[in-house]
Structure 1
Amino acid sequence: MVEFDEAAFLRDGQKAYGCRQRIEEVADEVTKKGYNKIVLTGIGGTTFEMMSVEDIIRRYSNVPVVNLNAAEGMIDKPSYINERTLVVTGSKSGDTKETVEICRWCKEQGATVVVFTGKADCPLAETASELILCDAPGMENTYLKFYLFALCLLYRRGDFPSYPKFAEQMAVLHKNITSWKKQFEDKAHELSVKYAQEPYQIWVGSGILWGEINMFTMCILEEMQWMRTRAVTSSMFFHGTLELVDKDVLVYLVKGEDQYRPLDERAEAFLKKYTDKLVVIDTADYKLDGIDDEFRIILSPIMFNSITRGRLAYHFEKQTGHDLEFRRYYRQFAY
């Protein structure tokens, strides 16, 4: 497999899962302290990751939840943030300017700020009321940590009684992820050979996968491969973007398994008629082993991430010769 060290990946997975005890301790602490709303915040990829966390919280609970763009938050300074607010964020670098600023401001308003990061001595860690340190790299691990925390919170509220079973079964998550990656490997190679040089592509999807679709198209294809992309929801596709489709336009349709799947299927039916370059990615094709199917929707963003960011991106890199680590603007100078 291209750019995949299975042993290292499984070790990192164990490291991420090993944060479970600390995650549950923090969930218990903030529950005892009390809160009446949850604010998820960050910028860039973190905002997209938080979209599925927000979906999960709304899916199982009626606790108010907001996904706050950190840069916009520092302009708006929302009045709903106060001493009864639980703020949750994460950052790989620990020094993302907008995220540090919003968390510092939220703490000044009396909010409880929970920070996930891999570095104890970073600016973001200094803003934390509760710090969860875990340096396991990879977005699959980021999702696992966020999901354990969010669902433990809901369990403590009485909204997600399946949490103990979910948390125990996450011990085999990375074995499942490895299987999904291997299943998609040949397809990733095929797609990269056929489409790495396409001048334009559209990505269509919905529901809990929508944040991850945005993550892949903006943070990976645009930022890391300089590919021109358009992400649009399956419902909004029919209100403008469909006019860009012809037989030579590349469209990726991502089919999820939540309540919005009929919208994906409607888009699929249209696209089968009007483009010769339709690629369908369906999370239903990827099986769970040792994990109950009741958790499929929750885990579907990890499924999608594992085969796109985890496989397709590396195959694109090989075909384009464009290093995934190279940037000409992002974090290269002040702007």
Structure 2
Amino acid sequence: MTVAAVKPIDPQDLERATSTVSLREDLDAYVTDLMAQGVRNIYFVGAGGSLICSYPAHYLLTASSDVPTFQVQSDELNCVQPALMGPGSLVVLASYTGTTKETVAAARTAKSTGATVVTAAKDGTPLATEADRNFVAKSDIFELMLAYAVLTATGKVDDTEAVNASLDALPQALRTAAEQADAHLAAVAEKFKDDEITYVLGSGPNQAWAYGMAMCFLQEMQWKHAAGFNAGEFFQGAFEVVDDSSAVILWLAEDGSRPMAERARTFLQKYAARAECIDTRDLDLVGIDERLRPHVTPLVVAALASRLAQHYEAVRNHDLKTRRYMFKVDY
């Protein structure tokens, strides 16, 4: 099989991230006004990648805010509405296409409870038209900015200048991180391209891209068997199938859950000779305040996961857009 050349890192990634960051002033003003009116709780809602992308913001607010914050899968919301959702709830939904049917329906469900609905979607799409306010934005950066806006409005941010400067630097930091890690990511894809199953681990907010790397990038886009685990839950059973022949990817970032990931790394170094650990501490992240790295590095993991998928695409000659069922059959 001829190995295709990996695609260059997409310059549009930087453009989308920069465009999202440019919305910060409008978003801050909007969130400040909502909080002044009395937000009782916050829900992040999505499906697939959009749900995954909301996890860092959800994690930050859960750890740092007095406002109760929840994360709900779109169709779960349609089937069972949370008792606490209603007037005073802020419901944040995202969809890359703006057409994900479960998420569009979830926006209607949320509105029916009296909640305020904010979306990240392309203008004019079904999801955008359901919103009280829509922002055309890259969802993970947008939702992290929204989380910081909530924290600022409620007096939980000590240094707003550091936050603003770090958010300004974030688009280029994400790009540079992908460039710095590129050789390692290429080696991981080459190493694991033929394995029958790949296990992906992450802790805290990074478990989202353990799940997402396995389900979205390897299962959906590469038709490879994979499983994603919380690095702590890994020790509750899954580690029993791992040995020196196993393909394992571990994301390590810098939030408070890092000791969980380090525990997994210690185990893997002893019992899984082929495991690959990808650590954001190896990356410079120029312009990101050291105090904010714990909150930003889950987005770095997302950027690295996306780039790793492109390397799989190249070494396996399997286009990331190829589907059997998605968008092709009724489901």
Range class of TM-score, shorter chain? over 0.9
Letter in 2 for 1:238: F
Shift of residue 291, structure 1, vs aligned partner: 1.8
Counterpart pick for 1:38 among 35, 42, 55: 42
CA distance in 1, matches of 2:150, 2:253: 25
1:333 aligns with 2:329: yes
CA distance in 1, matches of 2:110, 2:31: 19
**Residue 199 (structure 2) aligns with:** 202
Shift of residue 6, structure 1, vs aligned partner: 6.0
**Residue 319 (structure 1) aligns with:** 315
1:86 aligns with 2:90: yes
Q: Secondary structure at the match of 2:259?
A: helix
Counterpart pick for 2:241 among 241, 244, 250: 244
Task: For residues 79-121 of structure 1, give each alpha carbon's deviation from its aligned partner in whole angstroms, at most 9, with x where no partner exists.
Answer: 21111111111111111111111211211221111111122x2
Counterpart pick for 2:172 among 152, 171, 175: 175
Shift of residue 4, structure 1, vs aligned partner: 2.6
Q: Secondary structure at the match of 2:196?
A: coil
Shift of residue 133, structure 1, vs aligned partner: 2.6
CA distance in 2, matches of 1:198, 1:272: 19
Instruction: Report if the CA contact (8 A) 2:93-2:119 is conserved.
Output: yes
**Residue 127 (structure 1) aligns with:** 130
Instruction: Report if the CA contact (8 A) 1:221-1:228 is conserved.
Output: yes
**CA RMSD for the aligned pairs?**
1.7
Letter in 1 for 2:139: T
CA distance in 2, matches of 1:260, 1:321: 36
Shift of residue 7, structure 1, vs aligned partner: 4.6
Matches within 5 A, 1:227-266: 227-266=224-263
**Residue 104 (structure 1) aligns with:** 108
Shift of residue 326, structure 1, vs aligned partner: 0.9
Instruction: Report if the CA contact (8 A) 2:122-2:128 is conserved.
Output: no
CA distance in 2, matches of 1:256, 1:15: 25
1:278 aligns with 2:278: no
CA distance in 2, matches of 1:8, 1:41: 25
**Structure 2 unaligned runs (5+)?**
none
Letter in 2 for 1:13: A
Aligned length: 327
Letter in 2 for 1:66: F
CA distance in 2, matches of 1:103, 1:247: 46
CA distance in 1, matches of 2:62, 2:97: 28
**What TM-score do the two structures reach when normalised by structure 2?**
0.93
CA distance in 1, matches of 2:136, 2:246: 44
**What TM-score do the two structures reach when normalised by structure 1?**
0.92
CA distance in 2, matches of 1:26, 1:103: 19
Q: Secondary structure at the match of 1:41?
A: strand
CA distance in 2, matches of 1:93, 1:315: 24
Shift of residue 164, structure 1, vs aligned partner: 4.0
**Alpha-carbon spacing, 1:98–1:186, altered in 2? closer, same or farther (3 Å):** same
Counterpart pick for 1:55 among 55, 59, 66: 59
CA distance in 2, matches of 1:5, 1:12: 13
**Alpha-carbon spacing, 1:20–1:74, altered in 2? closer, same or farther (3 Å):** same
**Residue 137 (structure 1) aligns with:** none
Instruction: Report if the CA contact (8 A) 2:192-2:198 is conserved.
Output: no
**Structure 1 unaligned runs (5+)?**
135-140
Q: Secondary structure at the match of 1:57?
A: helix
CA distance in 1, matches of 2:179, 2:66: 38
Task: For residues 271-300 of structure 1, give each alpha carbon's deviation from its aligned partner in whole angstroms, at most 9, with x where no partner exists.
Answer: 222222111111111122122110111111
Letter in 2 for 1:316: Y
Q: Secondary structure at the match of 2:119?
A: strand
Letter in 1 for 2:199: I
CA distance in 2, matches of 1:216, 1:29: 37
CA distance in 1, matches of 2:288, 2:55: 23
Shift of residue 78, structure 1, vs aligned partner: 2.1
Counterpart pick for 2:122 among 110, 118, 125: 118
CA distance in 1, matches of 2:104, 2:300: 30
